[in-house]
Structure 1
Amino acid sequence: MSTETSTDVEKKVIRQVEYYFGDCNLPRDRFLQEQVKQDDGWVPLEIMLNFNRLKQITEDTAVIAESLRKSTSGLIEVSEDGKKIRRNPDQPIPENNEQRKQELAARSIYAKMFPLDSTLDTLQAWFETFGEVESLSMRKDVKKKFKGSVFVTFKAEDSVKKFLEAESVKFNDVELEKRLSKNAYYQQKQEERKQFQEEKQKKKDKATNRQKDDGWQKIENEMPKGALLLMTGMNQEETRREDIKNVLQDYGPIAWIDFNRGDPECVVRYDKENMAKEVLEKVMEANNNEIIIHENKLEARVLEGEEEVARWRKMHEDSINRKLEKQNRYSKNRQKGRWGKRPSKATRDALKKAKAEERGETAEKNDNDEPPAKKVRVEVTVEGDSNGD
């Protein structure tokens, strides 16, 4: 650019228009991309006045044309009649590949601590004391107000080195708070986000553990002794929760069956003390001391002591985890817009009841959250009943 023959207005016009058609802006400017497709790359200067920054410098198309003719970069061509401009076809836009991204990043910096009332022209002129600037982006908050930090891409890597390696860099006598390469800035932000997520997870885990401990303390104080029945030796391929329920439900009300299909064992919980022992005695008495489901003879015993306490704790923790997993799944689906407002509990219960009735079942829910079990013939072998026949 010839500073001897260009006025301040002309220099601003050249800088602004070359930014619009430059390597940084044109590949991402959809409006300008559409314009350059229409007339072999030529864009009327009347169209260019739709760009506010250029319009603020001058609305005189003759001044714009004359200014661009004085540019020495060779990037912009002006039509003979001075009414159209285009990017020089001999300077095609570089391919946007990984090599190009790395090359741009190597010429880009991040800087912070500029006055919030700074203008683009002021910042542009100041950064050009370090070298020719290709693009400058003033970072803004959600209210479109300047945050005091910028991204700058210089024409040459030497300018980046000059800016970053300077012992002291001041703007209006105020030392800049941060000077980083763009790559270093993004790496720093990534580390900060990672640290933030880790701290957030720690707080979440702490709250979860406190919830578990508080709930467990309550359960430990209130849990009925002798209410857990352990059954082992399941047919892991065929046994379902409903099969276990069918064997035991006639001998006492079941509160919960802790079992997932494929497990070799299950724990049946009752709400009353010593209920597990009473049920086991009745089942064994009625079936000649054998419990068989899907041709597998099961071992059954009532949990006691530390083993009983440990199982209560595990069931409590599993319950908390299921609730948290459900809450997280619900939250993610809400964020993705999959679900609207969650129905009330009464509505959800009514829907469950209606679905159960459609399947020909009672309103009692299937605790496994699985599709309803097919009707399975439960075999309880008896080698002689209580009458001795």
Structure 2
Amino acid sequence: MAAIAAAPKDASLEDKIKNQVEFYFSDSNLPRDKFLRSQTGEAGDGYVNLDIVANFKRLKSLTTDLSVIRTALKTSQLVELNEDKTKLRRKYPLPPSISNKRKTIYVKGFPTEEEPQLESVVELFSPYGVVRSVRFRRYPDTKKFKGSAFIEFETEEQAQRAAEEEFLKDQSGAELEVLTKDEYFKRKKQREQSTTASRGAQEEVDSSEKENIASQSKEASFQRGLILGLKNIGENVTREEIKQVFSSFGEISWIDFSRGQSTGYIRFSQPNSAKEAVRALQEKPDLKDKFAELWVLYGDEEKEYWSKVVQLQKEKREKSSKRKKNFQRQSKSKRRKI
């Protein structure tokens, strides 16, 4: 799985070089980079020959001039050069315990014919926060792109914000599925368990269809009183601002809103949170300019909203399942040709 440091599209060459070198020595990459770790020692703060690092593929694609690399690293807060500028190291040891799982999302649905440009992926997810790295996933034997990637953000909050985006399209128009890394591994484990249980007589049963049925059954008996409606939302109100204001009333499962829309919905995790929000904000006139009208969905309106949620999730799973089946058919066809 190749990892690539993410730099803004319009960054200067020096910034791109510094960003890439700092990524090599970062908390995110160094602990899992066996070769570089063998050079830097267990604490990760040992010197490495500059010409070794300069020969790494991604850095080499930026420049092969060691003097340019030295200049770019002058302002680095993470790495430093020795006195004669021939070696570099981290300025401080690795933390004793590192986990970037909650800062990382899993994205699938990219066209598999050609690996997307790093810059386009960074640009797509930059609205949600600072993208630290992109790990394109490939098959171990063929190195062919799987159509998915792990994307690491600077903070857990930024990763969660991106994972809340249920529907997203890349520059080619392909629909992407976005999950937290935790949710990805949870679903992967469920699929593996389902495959093991169904092996034999039900070997051909598609586990994603079973998940679909179970999910629809669960959603059919939805908990009432969780949905808060917002009308006449101010023009400059952002999704993050809505989250900041309303999370004080309870845990938010989903925010159905895009900037510029006049109407939106908040799905809380606990009952009474929506009621509490309506009651409390009626006593705060300073927020009326941003959220002119709030109400809790009940009756037919609530059922209709949940029906739309179920339908959208069903369509999303069906598209994911269709992509999976197409890939399986293509793989079988290739094996036959071989």
TM-score by length of 1: 0.45
Match of 2:88 in 1: 85
Aligned counterparts of 1:146 and 1:13: Cα–Cα separation in 2: 25
RMSD (CA atoms): 2.8
Does structure 2 retain, via aligned residues, the 8 Å contact 1:168–1:175?
no
> For the Cα contact (< 8 Å) 1:44–1:85, is it kept in 2?
yes
Quick one: structure 1 residues 128 and 78, their matched pair in 2 at CA, closer, same or farther if it must change by over 3 Å?
farther
1:160-179 per-residue CA deviation (whole Å, 9 max, x = no partner) reads: 12212236432116253311
1:60 equivalent among 32, 57, 65: 65
Name 1:147's counterpart in structure 2.
146
Amino acid at match of 1:32: L
Q: How does 1:285-296 map to 2 (within 5 A)?
A: none
The offset of 1:78, in angstroms, is: 2.8
Residue 224 of structure 1 corresponds to none
For 1:295-334, list aligned pairs within 5 A: none
Residue aligning to 1:132: 130
AA aligned to 1:87 is: R
Residue type of the alignment partner of 1:77: E
Which structure 1 residue ranges, 5 or more long, are not aligned?
Answer: 205-389
Q: Deviations over 1:131-180 (max 9, x none)?
A: 22233210012310111100112110121122122364321162533110
Q: Which residue of 2 aligns with 1:181?
A: 180
Deviations 1:102-145 (A, max 9, x none): xx221111001223321334424443342222332100123101
Q: Aligned pairs, how many?
A: 192
The equivalent residue for 1:114 is 110
Quote how far apart the aligned CAs of 1:40 are: 6.5
Q: 1:67 to 1:34 in 2, by over 3 A?
A: same
Cα deviation, residue 201, structure 1: 3.7
| Conserved? CA contact 1:42–1:84, under 8 Å | yes
Contact 1:135 1:153 in 2 (8 A): yes
Instruction: Structure 2 unaligned segments of length 5 or more: list them.
Output: 1-6, 204-338
- 8 Å contact from structure 2 (residues 50, 87) kept in 1: yes
Equivalent residues of 2:166, 2:178 under 8 A apart: no
In structure 2, C-alpha distance between the alignment counterparts of 1:126 and 1:82, rounded to whole Å: 37
Structure 1 residues 369-380: aligned runs within 5 Å: none
Percent identity, please. 35
Q: Quickly say closer, same or farther: Cα 1:61–1:150, change in 2 above 3 A.
A: same
Secondary structure class of the residue paired with 1:174: coil
* Contact 1:113–1:177 under 8 Å retained in 2: yes
One-letter code aligned to 2:149: V
Higher strand share: 2
Moved over 6 A (4+): none
Between the aligned partners of 1:180 and 1:15, the Cα distance in structure 2 is 26
Structure 1 residue corresponding to 2:52, chosen from 26, 47, 58: 47
| Letter of the structure 2 residue corresponding to residue 184 of structure 1 | E
Partner letter of residue 156 of structure 2? E
Give the equivalent residue in structure 2 for 1:158.
157
Contact 1:18 1:75 in 2 (8 A): yes
Corresponding position of 1:26: 30
CA spacing shift, 1:127–1:15, aligned 2, 3 Å: farther
User: Is the alpha carbon distance of 1:137 and 1:20 closer, same or farther for their aligned partners in structure 2, counting shifts above 3 Å?
Assistant: same
3-state SS in 1 of match to 2:199:
helix
CA distance in structure 2 between the aligned counterparts of 1:45 and 1:15, rounded to whole angstroms:
15
Alpha-carbon distance between aligned partners in 1 of 2:18 and 2:155, rounded to the nearest angstrom: 19
Counterparts in 2 of 1:163 and 1:15: CA distance versus 1, 3 Å: same
Contact 1:13-1:67 within 8 A present in 2 as well: yes
Answer with 1 or 2: which has the greater Rg: 1
2:20 corresponds to which residue? Answer: 16
CA distance in 1 between partners of 2:202 and 2:165 (Å): 41
Q: TM-score, normalised by structure 2?
A: 0.51
